[in-house]
Amino acid sequence: MMTPALLAILIQQAPTIVGAIIALAKHAGLNDEANALALVLQRSDANADQLIANAKAALGI
Amino acid sequence: MLIVWVLAACGPKHVQTTAIFSEQLSAAALTAQQTVTDLHAMGGMTDVSYQNWQAGFLKLGLGIKALNQALRDSNDKAVLEQVGVMVTLVTDLVNLEIPKLKEPDRVLVLLVLSSVKSTLLVISATWGGA
C-alpha cells in the first residue's frame, strides 16, 4: 500500500531517475512521450549548432 | 506497477517542460546573436566588442548542447551546473559589454539578453535550483 508520504518522495525524486522512467514508459507503450521529448531536444540542438556556426564564422575559426 | 505509472506521468513531463524551455533558450540566443551582428554591421560597436560577444555566443551554444545532453542523460546535477555556467556567462557579457553600447542600442541588447537570462532562470526554477 502506497502512503502519501512515499508517493511525495517518489515524485520528488522523479527527475533523478527519469531516464529509467522513459525506458519504462517506452516499455509500457508510452512511445509518444519519449519521441516528443527527443524531437524538442533535437530542435534546441539545431538552434545551438546554428549559434555555434555563426559565432565561429564571425570569429574566423 | 502503480509506481511506474505515477513516475511515468511525472518524470517525462518535468524533463519535457525543461526541454521546451531549452528550445526557447536557443531561439532567444539566436535572436540576440543576430541583433549584435546587425549592430556591429551598422557601426554600433567595436570589432573587439563584437568578437567578445561572438565568443560568448559560442560558449552559450556549447552550453545549450551540454544542457540537452544532461537532459537526455537524466543528470539533474549536470542540468543545474550547465544553467549556472550559462547564467554567469550572460551576466559577465552584460556587465562587460553593455556599458560600452550607446543608447538606444544598449536597451535593445539588454532586452534580447533578458529573454535569454530569464529563460535560464526559469529552467533553474523548474529543475529545483532556484
- Alpha carbon of A32: minimum distance to chain B alpha carbons (Å): 11
Cβ contacts of B51 on chain A, cutoff 8 Å: 58-59
DSSP label at B46? -
Tens-place pLDDT, residues A31-52: 776 777 788 889 999 999 999 9
What grid cell was written down for A46?
539545431
Whole-number Å distance between alpha carbons of B58 and B2: 45
Interchain pair A16, B74: CB under 8 A: yes
What does the pLDDT look like over A3-18, one tens digit per residue?
666 556 555 555 445 5
Amino acid residing at B121: L
B8 pLDDT more than 50: no
Please say if the pLDDT value at position A22 is more than 60: no
Per-residue pLDDT for B80 more than 50? yes
pLDDT band at B4 (very low <50, low <70, confident <90, very high): very low
Whether this prediction's pTM lies above 0.90 is answered by: no
Residue with the three cell numbers 529545483: B128
Q: How far apart are the first and last CA of chain A?
A: 60
CA of A9 to nearest chain B CA: how many angstroms apart? 11
- The dihedral through the CA atoms of B18, B65, A36, B2 has a sign that is negative
Task: Please give the full DSSP string across A1-49, using - where no structure is assigned.
Answer: ---HHHHHHHHHTGGGGHHHHHHHHHHTT-HHHHHHHHHHHHHHHHHHH
pLDDT score of B17: 79
| pLDDT higher than 80, residue B39 | yes
DSSP string, B80-108: HHHHHHHHHHHHHHHHHHGGGSPTTHHHH
A58 touches chain B (CB under 8 A): yes
Q: List, in order, residues 6 or more apart from A21 with CB less than 8 Å away.
A: A14, B4, B7, B8, B11, B12
